[in-house]
Amino acid sequence: MKKNIFKKNLTLPCLGIGMMLALNACGTASQSASAETLTSSSTTVSGATTSIQVSGDDISIKGNGATREGKTITISEAGTYELSGTLEEGQIKINTNGEVKLILNNFNISNSTSAPIIGEKGNVQILLKENSKNTVSDKRSAKEESDSTESEESSETTTDYDAAIHSEGDLLLSGSGSLTVEGGYEDGIHSKTSLTVESGEYKITASHHGLNGKKTLTVKDGTFDITTVEDALHSKGDVSVENGKITVNAGDDALHADNTLTVKDGTIDIQKSNEGLEGITVNVEGGNISIQSSDDGINGAGESEDGSAVDISVNISGGNVKIVPGGDGIDSNGDLNVSGGTIVIDGPSDGGNAPIDYDGTASITGGTVVASGNSGMFQGFDESSSTQSSVIYYLSDTANAGDSVKITDSTGKEIYSSSDTTQSFNTILFSSADLEEGKAYTVSVGSSSESVTISGKSNTVGTRSQSLGQPPMNGGFRGNGEGQNRGGQEQGDDQNRPPM
């Protein structure tokens, strides 16, 4: 749980990286547009194409716009270029006033002294040809952490080609082939402006970030397997995931935006992370998201560049979210708003963190939430701002991982049933549109059960124990500054929760 720090600057070991990347991009934008944003790509290539074929030390160029000096190929004219073969200790440099499209057709390139593919000037599209397998390997040793921090804070006049694929302009990837990227020095793929991935299959390893779009990072579709020492997806601006299948093993955040992070759809499987999703604003509108985190699963946190106040919020309106946290499940340093979707938070089991943690208000107006954890810092939804009812059940004993959880109505009909918790717990929260005011329900955990009649938006049952953790702020619910207690009672001083 982080409160006043946005980016962690962890002390990170060098990562021995071996990887292949599936990169793609292609487009229909005008080749004379020097600084315009790349348009949406197409798998159909029109106009003349310059062919670049590599066989050992032999580099054959057929067409205009490209020259070679040793193993360095320089592209100086806007246009389309198709590359094939294997270029060891080579480099592709792009320096144009327009837009360059690279078609990778079973092309492999590696370099142990500099970035293999550099867009020095102009916008770049990379298209992965159908069924092709391509590799871009930056074999340089990992940059030291202090050097990485300095490069992020350096002026725009300082040039540091810090990724296997580095572009000073917009970078767009697409196609129906595969790309393996090894970011040994720092990032896997980095655009100093906007990075967009439309399609393709990618395997990325990096000693820093996997995909890094300085201003914006947009994933429209594609399949990704990303292993990083720091963030898998990163932007100093906004990150948007519209669709795709993303598997992440990250040493720091899985998806991080300095500003707004939005997940619209797709499948995101975060198998390892410090924090799963992080941004000043985090929006989950759809998709299937599974998060394993050593700290917070979803973290609303950050600050402005000039130090001025920012409005922090976590907003969930759709999708299916499963979080198994080591820290807080959802931690908003501002507000939490749930209006749809299904959210399951499994833990934490320690009393120093909570499934739901917020500093502002927490409202629920729709969706289903099941959150299990320790009662020590447990928070629920606000009575005053919520329109959907919730129940918190304080158990008399700690339940084991895997104990069954059931919610039934007065007729015995099951509203919810599960036995897939992975952490022990002594408190569980349930909220659903199925809970109706004035009606009675039974909450069962293992062999224990309690009945509760819904008499408001915030309802509790059982006796709260503070013995395993610190006291929460304003009780189990924070709606009116008082614990909303129906059917049970709370023990401990709820008004003196220490700062996080």
Q: Is pLDDT above 90 for 9? A: no
Backbone angles phi, psi at 315, to 5 degrees: -125, 120
- pLDDT for 152: 52
Q: Mind giving me the DSSP string for 20-42?
A: -EE------S-TT-SSSPPPPP-
| 3-class SS of residue 412 | coil
Q: Is pLDDT above 60 for 155? A: no
- pLDDT for 149: 53
Q: How confident is the model at residue 102 (pLDDT cuts 50, 70, 90)?
A: very high
- pLDDT for 306: 87
For 462-481, what is the mean pLDDT? 47
The token pair at 89 is 């200790």
For 126-155, what is the mean pLDDT? 80
Report the alpha-carbon distance of residue 441 to residue 49 in Å, rounded.
69
Report the alpha-carbon distance of residue 146 to residue 158 in Å, rounded.
16
- The H-or-E segment that residue 161 falls in is none
Mean of per-residue pLDDT scores for the chain: 86
Are 312 and 281 in contact by the 8 Å Cβ rule? The answer is: yes
Report the alpha-carbon distance of residue 380 to residue 369 in Å, rounded.
10
- pLDDT for 308: 86
Q: Is pLDDT above 50 for 6? A: no
Return the ∠ at Cα 450 (arms to 448 and 453), rounded to 5°. 165
Report the alpha-carbon distance of residue 333 to residue 17 in Å, rounded.
35
Beta-carbon contacts of residue 153 (< 8 Å; ≥ 6 apart): none
Report the alpha-carbon distance of residue 215 to residue 449 in Å, rounded.
52
- Of 252, 258, 234, 256, nearest to 306 (Cα)? 258
Backbone angles phi, psi at 152, to 5 degrees: -70, -30
Q: Is pLDDT above 70 for 497? A: no
Q: How confident is the model at residue 361 (pLDDT cuts 50, 70, 90)?
A: very high
pLDDT in tens, 316-348: 999 999 999 999 999 999 999 999 999 999 999
pTM (2 decimals)? 0.86
- Of 322, 306, 309, nearest to 359 (Cα)? 309
pLDDT in tens, 267-324: 999 999 999 999 999 999 999 999 999 999 999 999 988 888 899 999 999 999 999 9
| 3-class SS of residue 480 | coil
- pLDDT for 309: 87
Are 81 and 101 in contact by the 8 Å Cβ rule? The answer is: yes
- pLDDT for 405: 97
- pLDDT for 147: 56
The token pair at 382 is 């606000």
pLDDT top residue among 115 and 21: 115
Are 44 and 66 in contact by the 8 Å Cβ rule? The answer is: no
pLDDT in tens, 415-435: 999 999 999 999 999 999 999
pLDDT top residue among 57 and 417: 417
For 36-52, what is the mean pLDDT? 63
Q: How far apart, in Å, are the Cα atoms of 110 and each of 134, 184, 202? A: 11, 11, 17
Report the alpha-carbon distance of residue 92 to residue 103 in Å, rounded.
13
- pLDDT for 146: 61
Q: Mind giving me the DSSP string for 325-350?
A: ESS-SEEESSEEEEEEEEEEEE---S
pLDDT in tens, 206-220: 999 999 999 999 999
Q: What percent of the chain has a predicted confidence (pLDDT) above 90?
A: 77
Report the alpha-carbon distance of residue 185 to residue 19 in Å, rounded.
13
